[in-house]
Copies of this chain bind each other. A is one copy, B any other.
Amino acid sequence: VATTAPRDRARSIAPVVRDGACLRILDQTLLPGREAWQELRGARDTAAAIARLAVRGAPNIGIAAAHGAALEIAARPEAYKEGVAVLRAARPTAVNLAWAVDRVSAAAHGGGPDAALAEARAIQAQEDAASDALAAHGADILAGCRRILTHCNTGALATGGRGSALAVVQELAARGADVQVLVCETRPLLQGARLTVWELARLGLPHELLVDAAAAGLMRRGEVDAAVVGCDRVAANGDVANKVGTYTHALAARAAGIPFVVAGPTSSIDPALTDGDAVEIEERGADEVREAGGATLTLVGTPCRNPAFDVTPAQLVTALVTERGVAAPPDRASVGALLS
């Protein structure tokens, strides 16, 4: 295990910051064109920010919600319940949101407003620590790799600390690797082009943007040392559901004989999910495919397929990296061990 160099805090990205009686969030809907901050003071404005996607990524939504609930409880210690309930329901499918709000409410129930504020800080510190632990495990596995390909956005804009997959890349750089990040644009919603490029530029890490379909050819030509991606959901057997395009990169990495690493918190592992075929793939609207950056790309009304995710079979994954350790290769036994 290599030693971690001191991180350059001046260059870290912190999109959710508690500052006294206020929560400051970086409005991600305006990136990369504009860097604007919004000040939130309670549960209702935090709920609105989460609903309009100014804050995104399950861990970051949890962190923001925890602070929003705590600020609400501190401001209205006798009348916070309705506001906190609104916040808890801001995005119905975000598991971390309800979990974080419930933790803060329970703390308030036992210890009042001060305990709630402390609990919100504890949740954020826990997510930061998880990101650091995951990054260290991933960097151990990818020691010696320099040209790293990634997909979608998995940095500080999505999770606590430095992110998941992008935290691994940052940790490699912090340990002294001359990292060059190959960023897939991630059509249709372009999280790579919009968010990952912005993060890497802010962090001062060398990077190049490419269209998703160019990744395989570069791997085949020996121009990539490893691929590292995040995960939305991991099945008990190690199959990975993640942003559409992930499976393509896994096939190409295997054909090129380079590591394909999946990084994410253990909360992404769903032991009730037998394998990846059981994942229901969300099919999103056609306009996301017909358009890019506000421009129309095709004939008006063209019918589209738009699956948001795909499934990468565990056999193509070199290692599943979590804050609690590594499953390499991921299978029923190694994934189960991470949860035990």
Contact = CB atoms under 8 A, between A and B. Distances in A.
A127 to B, nearest CB: 27
Contacts of A298: 32, 185, 190, 193-194, 197, 209
Interface in A282-307: 289-299, 302-307
A283 to B, nearest CB: 10
Contact of A187 (B208, B211, B247): B211
A337 interface: no
Contact of A305 (B201, B218, B255): B218
Identify whether the interface residues of A are mostly helix, strand, loop, or mixed: mixed
A269 interface: no
Interface of A: 32, 182, 184-188, 190, 193-194, 197-198, 201, 207-218, 220-221, 244-245, 247-248, 251-252, 255, 281, 289-299, 302-307, 309-311
Nearest to A32: B299
Nearest to A201: B299
Contacts of A221: 281
Given A211-B212, A212-B213, A244-B211, A190 B297 contact: yes
A204 to B, nearest CB: 13
A318 to B, nearest CB: 17
B32 A247 contact: no
Given A209-B298, A213-B245, A216-B248, 9 more contacts: A187-B213, A194-B297, A201-B302, A209-B289, A217-B310, A221-B281, A248-B252, A251-B251, A292-B295
Contacts of A184: 213
A297 B185 contact: yes
